[in-house]
């Protein structure tokens, strides 16, 4: 059972006040950070007195907020034990929670057409594997070979011995942070970024150092050089292709600059390539690993093929592979063999999968851009040449309040602060275009209804001006 300290919860909540009464605003923000995973189900919340001191409010305000959360079924309090997030709790809307009709919290596509066929082929190939132990701590030889061939085809010489197969990209990131980071070490990370990369760093008690990224200008390499020089981070996490959530991509020139800067200051760069295949017109870019042999690459078939296939990998030096073998056994004993056989078949169909995803995402993006322009004409639509979502400036609306209001329309979203450090990005909202066009359009219309209802209620201004 995890516990959240008052200082930690105050940091997660960020700027939580709104035009609503303080207790209601606080309850809403706690609901939000539970809904988007920043506070886990079952976690113990800080005592009322401690949270009041951390937030610099009266204990009465916190007590009323907790009472409201108990009414909604979000938390439960136990005499003499404290208050806990209810296991399986769901954000409530008014007095009754509505079913989620549109879930835009996950930027992910349904299974590609080839996935079912590849499962059937793998089932036919599993027989010879049954005579072995099934424990492949670094991965099945056939899959390691297929992944190495993938990198060689992109101009990066790679041997199967440089590959460690994992149970998805998040598992790969967790393995790397555990191996490379000690408590108190600094780690460079994009701001905004993939939320679970932040979680992985915090889990090993790293001190994140932000690297600004914007949809229009990409990575601030001047700031990156300064951070590398002054903070001396042990590792840096970047998503160089169609970055989550901004959609930005590093140019070939900037990849080389960033890799050289990391090498100069002894920082291990982790390049997350899970979105690398999702190109809608940008054109091919060299892998970041081509710029420096010290770059560690994380890959996965989750976005290209199907999120339900929990297969990922790490491409790294042989030395790091050896260290991984020594460290991994304390966490797990390898990725399931059957899923690895499926992954081999899918990698052989890479071009087919890319073409299918490109068509799906192009239709979804067109529907999202059209629907947002119609329903939120004041929002500026950023350029997008690939990826899974648009990172929209929703000012003067607060994304957190939009997310809470949208729940009453059966629409689940993730607020901007989930993608950043220290409560940043309250004026930003990530909208995926991974669903069918009709669903994308209906979801934006639901968001418009939620915004209109919220604006016409007791709050006189449009939610919270940022």
Q: What is the pLDDT of residues 280-307, one digit of tens each?
A: 989 989 999 999 999 999 999 999 999 9
Domains with residue ranges and CATH for the chain: 6-85 (1.10.10.10), 102-111+352-455 (3.90.1150.10), 114-351 (3.40.640.10)
Taking the C-alpha atoms of residue 90 and residue 125, their distance in angstroms, rounded to an integer, is: 42
Q: Does position 386 have pLDDT exceeding 60, yes or no? A: yes
Q: What is the pLDDT of residues 227-266, one digit of tens each?
A: 999 999 999 999 999 999 999 999 999 999 999 999 999 9
Q: 145-149, 200-204, 329-333 — which one is most confidently predicted on average?
A: 145-149
Stretch 166-176: mean pLDDT, rounded? Answer: 96
Q: What is the pLDDT of residues 59-106, one digit of tens each?
A: 999 999 999 999 888 899 887 788 989 875 554 433 334 467 899 998
pLDDT for 34? 85
Q: Which residue has the higher pLDDT, 18 or 390?
A: 390
Contact 165, 148 (CB under 8 A): no
Using pLDDT thresholds of 50, 70 and 90, give the confidence band for residue 365: very high
- Produce one character per residue of 371-410: b if its CB has 16 or more CB atoms within 10 Å, e if not: bbeebbeebeebebebbbbbbbbbbebbbbbbbbbbbbbb
Q: Is the dihedral of CA 192, 193, 195, 196 positive or negative?
A: negative
Stretch 1-13: mean pLDDT, rounded? Answer: 83
Share of the chain above pLDDT 90, in %: 73
Lowest-confidence range among 72-86, 126-140, 265-279, 386-400?
A: 72-86
> Which three-class secondary structure string do you get for the chain?
CCECCHHHHHHHHCCCCCCCCHHHHHHHHHHHHHHCCCCCCCCECCCHHHHHHHHCCCHHHHHHHHHHHHHCCCEEEECCCEEEECCCCCCCCCCCCCCCCEECCCCCCCCCCHHHHHHHHHHHHCHHHHHCCCCCCCCCHHHHHHHHHHHHHCCCCCCHHHEEEECCHHHHHHHHHHHHCCCCCEEEEEECCCHHHHHHHHHCCCEEEEEEEECCCEECHHHHHHHHHHHCCCEEEECCCCCCCCCCCCCHHHHHHHHHHHHHCCCEEEEECCCCCCECCCCCCCCHHHCCCCCEEEEECCCCCCCCCCCEEEECCHHHHHHHHHHHCCCCCCCCHHHHHHHHHHHCCHHHHHHHHHHHHHHHHHHHHHHHHHHCCCCCCCCCCECCEEEEECCCCCHHHHHHHHHCCCEECCEHHHHCCCCCCCCEEEEECCCCHHHHHHHHHHHHHHHHHHHCCCCCCCCCCC
Using pLDDT thresholds of 50, 70 and 90, give the confidence band for residue 1: low
123, two tokens: 């089932």
Q: 90-104, 164-178, 417-431 — which one is most confidently predicted on average?
A: 164-178
Q: Which residue has the higher pLDDT, 19 or 216?
A: 216
Using pLDDT thresholds of 50, 70 and 90, give the confidence band for residue 14: confident
């Amino acid at each position: 059972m995890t516990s959240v300290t008052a200082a930690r919860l105050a940091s997660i909540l960020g700027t939580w006040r709104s035009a609503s009464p303080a207790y209601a605003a606080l309850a809403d923000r706690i609901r939000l950070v539970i809904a988007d995973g920043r506070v886990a189900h079952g976690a113990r919340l800080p005592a009322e007195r401690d949270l009041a001191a951390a937030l610099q409010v009266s204990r009465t305000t916190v007590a009323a907020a907790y009472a409201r959360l108990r009414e909604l079924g979000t938390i439960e309090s136990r005499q003499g034990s404290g208050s806990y997030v209810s296991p399986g709790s769901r954000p409530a809307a008014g007095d009754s929670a509505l079913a989620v009709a549109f879930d835009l919290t996950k930027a992910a596509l349904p299974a590609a057409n080839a996935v079912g066929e590849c499962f059937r082929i793998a089932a036919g190939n599993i027989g010879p594997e049954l005579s072995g132990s099934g424990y492949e701590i670094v991965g099945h030889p056939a899959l390691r070979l297929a992944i190495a061939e993938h990198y060689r085809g992109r101009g990066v010489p790679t041997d199967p011995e440089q590959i460690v197969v994992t149970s998805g990209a998040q598992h790969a990131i967790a393995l790397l942070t555990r191996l490379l980071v000690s408590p108190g070490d600094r780690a460079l990370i994009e701001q905004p970024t993939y939320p679970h990369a932040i979680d992985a760093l915090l889990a090993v008690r790293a001190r994140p150092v932000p690297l600004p990224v914007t949809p229009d200008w990409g990575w601030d390499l001047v700031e990156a050089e300064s951070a590398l020089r002054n903070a001396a981070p042990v590792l840096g996490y970047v998503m160089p292709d169609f970055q989550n959530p901004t959609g930005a991509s590093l140019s070939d020139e900037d990849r080389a600059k960033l890799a050289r800067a990391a090498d100069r200051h002894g920082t291990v760069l982790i390049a997350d390539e899970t979105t690398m295949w999702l190109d809608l017109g940008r054109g091919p870019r060299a892998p970041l690993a081509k710029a420096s042999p010290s770059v560690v690459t994380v890959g996965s078939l989750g976005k290209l093929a199907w999120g339900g296939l929990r297969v990922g990998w790490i491409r790294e030096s042989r030395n790091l592979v050896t260290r991984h073998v020594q460290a991994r056994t304390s966490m797990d004993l390898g990725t399931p063999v059957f899923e690895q056989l499926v992954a081999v078949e899918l990698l052989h169909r890479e071009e087919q999968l890319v073409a299918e995803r490109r068509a799906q995402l192009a239709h979804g993006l067109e529907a999202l851009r059209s629907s947002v322009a119609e329903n939120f004409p004041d929002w500026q639509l950023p350029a997008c040449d690939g990826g899974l979502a648009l990172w929209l400036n929703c000012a003067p609306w607060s994304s957190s309040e939009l997310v809470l209001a949208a729940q009453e329309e059966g629409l689940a979203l993730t607020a901007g602060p989930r993608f950043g450090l220290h409560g940043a990005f309250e004026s930003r909202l990530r909208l995926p275009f991974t669903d069918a066009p009709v669903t994308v359009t209906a979801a934006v219309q639901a968001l418009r209804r939620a915004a209109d209802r919220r604006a016409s209620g007791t709050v006189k201004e449009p939610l919270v001006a940022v």
